[in-house]
Amino acid sequence: MCSLICGQEILTLQPESKKELEDQKNSAALVIECNVPSAQVYLNSVYQGTTKLRINQLLPGEYILQVEKAGFESKRFYVTAKKGYILSYKVELKKEEQISE
């Protein structure tokens, strides 16, 4: 799946791993990791915290994940929260290119 939002292409990000939730089988959880420490994480445009981050008690379904940090290109992806599982996602941010005059 791929679409454009605000001129930025959004791809579907596949989870790195999947683990069964022991205590909350009716909800879902996501773990978001990034190659850049303390990157800001947004789920459907709502700030969730900084990486490495676990987001609990989500309704199962598809979300737009945005990860950003000053000096790096922000990334947006579709991610899925699956009922009864913790899905782990890894995001790679690249340094913004400096434009020299």
Domain tally for the chain? 1
Q: Is residue 99 part of a domain?
A: no
Q: Is residue 100 part of a domain?
A: no
Which residue range is the domain that position 82 belongs to?
2-91
Q: Is residue 70 part of a domain?
A: yes
Q: Is residue 84 part of a domain?
A: yes
| Structural contact between residues 26 and 82, judged by C-beta atoms closer than 8 angstroms | no
Q: Which two tokens stand for residue 11?
A: 């791809």
Q: Is residue 52 part of a domain?
A: yes
**CATH assignment at residue 8:** 2.60.40
At residue 60, what are phi and psi to the nearest 5 degrees?
-60, 145
Q: Is residue 32 part of a domain?
A: yes
Per-residue confidence (pLDDT) for residue 26, from 0 to 100: 79
For residue range 11-66, list pLDDT tens digits in order. 777 777 778 777 767 789 999 999 999 999 999 999 999 999 999 999 999 999 99
Global model pTM greater than 0.85: no
Q: Is residue 98 part of a domain?
A: no
